[in-house]
Chains A and B, each alone.
Chain A
Amino acid sequence: METYFSEEFLQLSFKIALILIITIPVLFLLRGWARNFFTKKYAPHYGMLAGKLVFYTGLIILVVTIMGQLGISLAPLLGAAGIVGIALGFASQTSVSNIISGLFLIAEQPFKVDDIITVNNTTGVVISIDVLSAKLRTFDNQFVRIPNETLIKTEVRNLTRFPIRRFNAKVSVAYKEDISKVKEILMDVADKNEFALSEPKPIILFDAFGASSIDLLFLVWAPVSEFLQLRNTIQEDIKARFDEEGIEIPFPHVSLYSGSASKAIPIEISDTDSSGSGKFKGRNK
Chain B
Amino acid sequence: MNIDKWGEFTLSSGEKADFFRLGDLRLWLKYKDEEIWIGHQYAGHADSKEALDSPPEDLEWARWAPKEPGNTIKLMPVFPDLPLVVNSEYPLRVNPGASIQIFTRIPVWLRISIGKNDTVLTELPSIKLSRTWFGTPIEGELCFWAITKARRSLSNVERKPHMVSCPIQITNKTEEDLNFDKFCFRVERLKLFVYNEELWSDETRIVYQGEEQYSDINMSGRLPKGMENAKLISPPRKPEHRSLATRTFKMIFDESFLFGK
- Nearest B residue to A195, CB-CB: B131
Which of A168, A197, A217, A219 interacts with B133 by CB under 8 Å?
A197
Which residues of B from 114 to 134 have beta carbons under 8 Å from A? 128, 130-134
The answer to whether A200 touches B258 (Cβ under 8 A) is yes
The answer to whether A191 touches B130 (Cβ under 8 A) is yes
B91 CB–A CB distance under 8 Å: no
The answer to whether B133 touches A200 (Cβ under 8 A) is yes
Known: A162-B138, A164-B137. A198 touches B259 (CB 8 A): no
What is the total of A-B residue contacts with beta carbons within 8 Å?
A: 48
Chain B interface size, as a band, is 10 to 19
The answer to whether B258 touches A164 (Cβ under 8 A) is no
A203 CB–B CB distance under 8 Å: yes
- Shortest distance between the CB of A111 and any CB in chain B (Å): 16
B85 CB–A CB distance under 8 Å: yes
For this complex, 6 residue pairs linking A to B, each with C-beta atoms less than 8 Å apart, are A194-B130, A198-B130, A199-B134, A200-B253, A219-B258, A223-B133
Instruction: Find chain B residues with CB under 8 A from A168 CB.
Output: 261
Question: Once bound together, how far apart are the Cα atoms of A199 and B261, in whole Å?
Answer: 18
Would you list the 6 A-B pairs with minimal beta carbon distance, nearest first?
A198-B132, A198-B145, A199-B132, A198-B130, A197-B133, A200-B258
The answer to whether A203 touches B258 (Cβ under 8 A) is yes
The answer to whether B131 touches A197 (Cβ under 8 A) is yes
Which of B134, B142, B253 interacts with A223 by CB under 8 Å?
B142
The answer to whether B132 touches A197 (Cβ under 8 A) is yes
- Shortest distance between the CB of A207 and any CB in chain B (Å): 8
Instruction: Find chain B residues with CB under 8 A from A197 CB.
Output: 130-133
A259 CB–B CB distance under 8 Å: no
The answer to whether B261 touches A221 (Cβ under 8 A) is no
Which residues of B from 235 to 261 have beta carbons under 8 Å from A? 253, 257-259, 261
A163 CB–B CB distance under 8 Å: yes
B68 CB–A CB distance under 8 Å: no
User: How does the 8 Å CB contact mask read for B128-150 relative to A, with 1 for contact and 0 for none?
Assistant: 10111111011110100100000
- Nearest B residue to A191, CB-CB: B130
- Shortest distance between the CB of B33 and any CB in chain A (Å): 33
Instruction: Find chain A residues with CB under 8 A from B145 CB.
Output: 198-199
The answer to whether B133 touches A221 (Cβ under 8 A) is yes
Instruction: Find chain B residues with CB under 8 A from A203 CB.
Output: 258-259
Instruction: Find chain B residues with CB under 8 A from A198 CB.
Output: 85, 130-132, 145
